[in-house]
Amino acid sequence: MKKENNDIENDNRELFTEQFITDTLEENYMPYAMSVIISRALPEIDGFKPSHRKLLYTMYKKGLLTGPRTKSANVVGETMKLNPHGDQAIYETMVRLTRDNETLLHPYVDSKGNFGKRYSRDMAFAAPRYTEVKLEKICEELFADIDKDTVDFVDNYDGTMKEPTLLPVTFPTLLVNSTEGLAVSMATKICSFNLSEVCDATCAYIDDPKVNLLDYIKAPDFSTGGYVIYKEKEMENIIENGAGSIKIRAKYRYDKKNSCIEVYEIPYTTTLEDVIDGITEIVKEGKIKDITDVRDELDLNGLKIAIDIRKTADPDSIMNKLFALTSLEQSFGCNFNVIVNGRPEVLGVRGIIDEWLKFRTTCVERKLKTEIRQKEERLHLLKGLEKILLDIDKAIKIIRETESDDLIIPNLMWGFSINEVQAEFIAEIKLRNLNKEYIIKRIDEKNSLIDSIAELKGILGSRKKLNELIKKQLREVSKKYGKPRKTDIMLEEEVVKVTKEEMIEDYKLKLFLTRDSYLKKITLVSLRSSGDQKLKEGDEIIQEVETHNKTEIMFISSKSNVYKMKVYDLPDCKASALGEYLGNTLGMDQDENIVYFVLPEDYEGWMLYAFENGKVAKVPLKAYETKTNRKKLINAYSDKSPLVNALYTPQEAEIALSSSNDRIIIINSKYIPEKPTKTSQGVQVMKLKRDYKLKYMKFAADAGFVNPRAYSIRNIPVAGAFIKDSDKPVEQLSMDLGDDADGNEEK
């Protein structure tokens, strides 16, 4: 039994071992992270990630640079000899490089079939068995002189074949085509630039490393076109540091005949489905009411998003709002993270050009050394031939008199003082070639080789000549493959900046305030077709005003507070809804109510506050105007006596006041002195006995008096006249006893 227990303990010890977490990360996670960074997600100085390089090299070796197209499935299968990933991953890599997908400014794969579109999220590419590919003509510049030892070759993953570590590109491909990658703890996002501009900038940099590259590279150039909004500081940051943000916006035209805006180029960072979804959402939310329909009209001619608008609408104004609210204008965040000599580095455009020049110079030097070596080897053979040609008869005699094949080479070496390589070359010459013409051609070739070797050595030994050779190649590339810019440049000053106010749709509406602090915002269109107003049980409408959506509104509460907001911040509702409860919207106290609201417009006029003690405060509306967007103003009026009513008078007006014993006065507000302080207690307008208080204040025109002049006064304070029978409400059957107009007690 003990033996069995010991065996179990020994087995358990073998199942796990203790290890520090830092050691585990270092031994297991770090190799994985470095592999993703170096060998997968980030591009190298030749402009390619390993997956791109392996795919293109496979196509090159298959003869697809000059031959006809082949099925994509063939290429995918062959690439798996270099890239041990699934066929779907390899095919998706190929799709991005194709002409039909329109991801690259200068595509590397000539394609036939459905490869989807960069600007469409839903347009899926066809399976590899249905599509065909070959290399584009520009790929000649990727593989130029690759067989002349310009770059290093390494074994593939199983050691069965060789593959290049880099491609000897003749122009800075890293800057010409955009690249994105997400590694472990780092990422890269490189925008594309116009090929001709990059070649010109590189040539200028060769002449002067301190040259202002902005004179040559104006802005990024994307395959999907659009406009780049030019900001000089951002571009300087990208040029020098490889970081910055570029705004791209769509291009559009207006079809006046059909009242339709046609968007035909969109930012590189979005898709037409995202744009359409964004516009649809905005229309649903009522932010833009002039759009009647939006459609995807993508066809063989390219991208097109049709936006139908009302004939009276301004297309430019609508588009400016859409630029602000949708992905029709987006930012491209640059982060030029590149693998240089096996290490990730964030480089600006200047730094990338500098590193590419070092790489390209090395490639050219290696090519020149290879050509010199090959020519010297050929010259060495011709020098041996020259010795033979001086006495051909002797050479023929040596060969004829030699008894066995294996002695011919030694005998020629001995007879003419040449080495084995030269003797082998001579022995392979056919007898028919030993004529005068052949001899003359070989002599001319020898002299040409001597001159050529001297010229190549001269270039190799001169940095200036090396630079001139690189510049010549760059100019040739620019001439052969350069294209006009697809993405136009728009100066920041030309951009119409849309404020929040301008993005808000303006329309006429009516506001209804209830006693229980519910506010209804109903459009006039909806109001015409609606029925009775729905109210909370026991509630009633105390104020209604017609206005428009962009105006400001001031709410006056029962606790001496004023709340300010824009009408457009309140949701529209229907007459059948209760409306917006202002207690929640404004964040009021539980026992606080809204008693009145004002639409200040230009803050002209006055606020009149009537208090139970018979006093009225006349405060200029300017007192509530603030420089900042403050939402709450405290101490908006005096709290010494309870508030009866508040009225806003844009100009002087006749005001009616009534006491609890039904005395009435009508006074023009110009006779009430203005108080500049909001918290002023006001002036005594109506004399009140101890047991009475002010009952209401309203505009005289709204009081409905038959003979208002009977109550009119100019001097204050007064007790007022009793209400006439003709002015009493119909339902009123009796009235409380009170003082008569002369102040005598009524009998």
Q: Residue 702 domain-assigned? A: yes
pLDDT over 70 (residue 279): yes
Confidence band (pLDDT; 50, 70, 90) for 14? low
The pLDDT mean for the chain works out to: 89
CA atoms of 495 and 476, how far apart (whole Å): 37
pLDDT over 70 (residue 522): yes
Q: Residue 191 domain-assigned? A: no
pLDDT over 90 (residue 54): yes
Q: Residue 601: which domain range?
A: 504-727
pLDDT over 50 (residue 73): yes
Q: Does one domain contain both 57 and 145?
A: yes
Q: Does one domain contain both 469 and 508?
A: no
CATH (domain of 433)? 1.10.268.10
Q: Residue 410 domain-assigned? A: yes
The domain total for the chain is 4
Three-state secondary-structure class, residue 371: helix
Q: Does one domain contain both 148 and 65?
A: yes
State the average pLDDT over residues 702-711.
86
Q: Does one domain contain both 163 and 96?
A: yes
Return the axis-axis angle of helices 408-416 and 349-389, rounded to nearest 10°. 90
Q: How does pLDDT run across 96-105, given as a tens digit for each residue?
A: 999 999 999 9
pLDDT over 70 (residue 133): yes
pLDDT over 90 (residue 456): yes
- Residue with the two structure tokens 């779907």: 88
What pLDDT was estimated at residue 734? 41
pLDDT over 80 (residue 6): no
Confidence band (pLDDT; 50, 70, 90) for 11? low
CATH (domain of 269)? 3.30.1360.40
Q: Residue 124 domain-assigned? A: yes
Q: What are phi and psi of 662, to 5 degrees?
A: 65, 35
Q: Does one domain contain both 458 and 517?
A: no
Residue type, 462: S
Q: For residue 531, give every residue at least 6 positions away whose Cβ sits within 8 Å of its Cβ, in sequence order, or none.
A: 575, 576
Of the residues 275, 304, 327, the one at which a domain ends? 327
**DSSP letter string, 58-123:** HHHHTTTTTS--EEHHHHHHHHTTT--S-HHHHHHHHHHHBTTTT-SSS-SEEEES----TT-SS-
**Residue 438 annotated to the active site:** no
Q: Does one domain contain both 523 and 448?
A: no
Handedness of CA 378, 384, 390, 396 (dihedral sign): negative
Confidence band (pLDDT; 50, 70, 90) for 356? very high
Q: Residue 658 domain-assigned? A: yes
Question: What is the rounded (10 degree) CA torsion for 104, 105, 111, 114?
Answer: 60
What pLDDT was estimated at residue 561? 92
What pLDDT was estimated at residue 5? 54
Q: Residue 407 domain-assigned? A: yes
CATH (domain of 125)? 3.90.199.10
Between 5-19, 151-165, 384-398, 608-622, the lowest mean confidence (pLDDT) is in 5-19
Q: Does one domain contain both 691 and 580?
A: yes
Q: Residue 219 domain-assigned? A: no
What pLDDT was estimated at residue 438? 79
Q: Does one domain contain both 644 and 600?
A: yes
Q: Does one domain contain both 512 and 425?
A: no
CATH (domain of 652)? 2.120.10.90
Q: For residue 395, give every residue at least 6 positions away whose Cβ sits within 8 Å of its Cβ, in sequence order, or none.
A: 388, 412, 415, 416, 426
Q: Does one domain contain both 434 and 526?
A: no
DSSP H or E segment with residue 489: strand 488-491
Which position among 130, 157, 481, 648 bears the catalytic label?
130
CA atoms of 356 and 483, how far apart (whole Å): 22
Q: Does one domain contain both 98 and 63?
A: yes
Q: Does one domain contain both 470 and 529?
A: no
